Amino acid sequence: MRGHLLVSISSIFDQTQPAVADMVASLDGQNIPVSLLVAPHIDGNWHLAKDRATRDWLLAQQNADRALILNGFDQAVQGRRAEFATLSRHEAALRLKGSTRQMGQIGFRPEIFAPPRWQLSEGTLQALPEFGFQLAASTTGLHNLRSGEFHQSRNLSVGEGFGQAKWWRRNVIRAAERGAAKGNSIRLSISGRNLLNEKVAEDFLRAANAAVKAGALPTDYRHFS
């Protein structure tokens, strides 16, 4: 039985958008779909609503049937506690209300949620269906919010609070290849910040290609919703 390959990119804002677009084009050229993780705020001072170029590019991706995933309300810089890691249901609902409202005002209505660093509290998981989300992604797997089914799937991240050194990237490539060869579904993610480094971007592509060559079927997160 063959598993699936899910590739995603986060931290998409004015400084990273060109590098993200290049990676999306490279993966599209190899028939590997990319899911884009978007947030209305990043680091407390960047606002998607005020960044017309990035907003228009993301809207064009959405209109082209690209999978867009809500990545929190204020995606924090590395080093800070992940935003939705410990929230109660009430606290999560307040942030989700603000995030979905602001995203909706500028034309985005994602139905999939992935918290920063994939760290999802039980309270957040309970609150998500109130806002129409169909799928949630965490460090351990994918939660179908309609059926209650859970798809166990390890996430392999570059950046996003995880490693990016050469040894880390080698381990990600090997893990992607081994997991795909066993028929497991592989989730690869990278921060747009790390795509600014050409060598990191090249190794991320190698990881995706290694998973495909080992048997993983490329798809996006909507496949599990």
For the stretch 75-101, pLDDT in tens is: 664 445 688 999 999 999 999 999 999
Strand partners, 36: 9, 68
Q: What is the pLDDT of residue 74?
A: 82
Q: pLDDT value at position 5? A: 98
Which parts of the chain register pLDDT below 50?
77-79
> What whole-number distance in Å separates Cα of residue 11 and Cα of residue 212?
25
* C-alpha–C-alpha distance, residues 154 and 100, integer Å: 27
The pLDDT value recorded for residue 164 is: 84
pLDDT at 78: 45
- What is the extent of the structural domain holding 51? 4-224
CATH of the domain at 107: 3.20.20.370
Question: Quick one: pLDDT at residue 75?
Answer: 66
In the chain, how many domains are there?
1
What is the pLDDT at residue 77? Answer: 46
Write the CB contacts of 200 (distance below 8 Å, at least 6 apart in sequence): 158, 159, 164, 169, 190, 194
Residue 33 has a pLDDT of 98
pLDDT of residue 81: 66
**Residues 191, 161: Cα–Cα separation, whole Å:** 9
